[in-house]
Amino acid sequence: MSMGRRLFGEGTEHHRPRNAGVDSARVARRAAGTMRRLCAGLIILLASLPWRASFGCGATSDCLVTEGSYRIRLPTNASGRQLGAVIYFHGWQQAAEDVMSDASLAATAERLGIALVALNGEQKTWSFPSSPTHHRDDFEYVHAVVDDLVERFPIDRKRLLGAGFSQGASMIWYLACREPRLFAAFAPMSGAFWLPAPNQCAAPLPVLLHLHGLADKTVPVEGREVAPGIRQDSVRDSFSILGKTAVLHAAEPARLTGSEDLHLVCRRSTRRADGGVLELCLHAGGHFPIAGWVEHAWRAIPN
């Protein structure tokens, strides 16, 4: 036998144990069993956490729908339960990314144990019947988002709060007028109808709580002409259209979490048997959103 054949074990029995084939098969079986257990564990984990399981979107990446996109942040204590959510409409020339970077809004949603959903306006604005520009059918877009939300995530369709600021608040007003039961409650801040305003709104009366600053120059309480032929309606007129028979009475001012020093003057209608109620709260400040108003509106949702 040549030296080369001896060195590499060819033709020699002592370089290969007699049970080597058995050991190899045993190792292979063990490896296969370990892999099966790992896969089973992974499947169980993903099944128990469906909302975490790479839906391809979240707080830092867009969830795509046929009409556009949105972003979502889920609370850390979700633990498989059905979640409520605030559907937030950003202001003019903002985007969902800006909403998601709002630490106070994120903290509010986390404290309430609900999802924060930030919508993306086409061209960073909203298209409603009297808006200055029209880029898409935003009513269809909102429905596409809601349908996708409840299909993709553990979101309860009956526990949705629609909130918005400025131009996004105007979109909230038009949604409340057109579909008063689309959301369990509506929380517009610093924005109302534009002219020409709707002649009437659909029944029943929604749960709508509006916040506005008396020193707001961007969207004044009394409305203003933005450009020739383009005018914001007044908050007073908007309320008279939405709730023609709902009289607002002086009410105990709301105390907003995180803005306890903000003095509010509030008026509220009598809550109806079906839960509908209107509320208007004014403060001395200007044009800015307040995360505490979202929490106030969430707690006003009928049980």
Task: Name the residue ranges covered by the structural domains of the chain.
Answer: 3-48, 57-298
pLDDT of the residue at 24 = 54
For residue 113, give both structure tokens.
Answer: 């144990």
In this prediction, residue 80 has a pLDDT band, given cuts at 50, 70 and 90, of confident
What is the number of other CB atoms lying within 10 angstroms of the CB of residue 113?
A: 14
Query: Is the distance from CB of 142 to CB of 136 less than 8 angstroms?
Result: no
Q: In this model, does residue 185 exceed pLDDT 90?
A: yes
- CATH homologous superfamily for 57-298? Alpha/Beta hydrolase fold, catalytic domain (3.40.50.1820)
Gap between the Cα atoms of 239 and 186, Å rounded: 13
Low-confidence winner among 12-26, 171-185, 255-269, 273-287 (lowest mean pLDDT): 12-26
Q: What is the pLDDT of residues 216-234, one digit of tens each?
A: 999 999 999 999 999 999 9
Distances (CA, A) of 103 to 107, 109, 110, 116, 129: 6, 10, 10, 12, 32
Q: What is the percent of the chain where pLDDT is above 70?
A: 82
Mean pLDDT score, 278-293: 98
Share of the chain above pLDDT 90, in %: 79
SS3 236: helix
Q: What pLDDT is stored for residue 1 in this prediction? A: 43
H helix or E strand, kind and range, residue 116? strand 115-119
The predicted pLDDT at position 29 comes to 55
pTM beyond 0.85: no
More confident residue, 55 or 159: 159
The 10s digit of each residue's pLDDT in 31-76 is: 555 555 544 443 333 333 444 444 579 999 999 999 999 999 999 9
Containing 249, the helix (H) or strand (E) segment is strand 249-251
The residue among 284, 281, 286 whose CA lies nearest residue 297 is 281
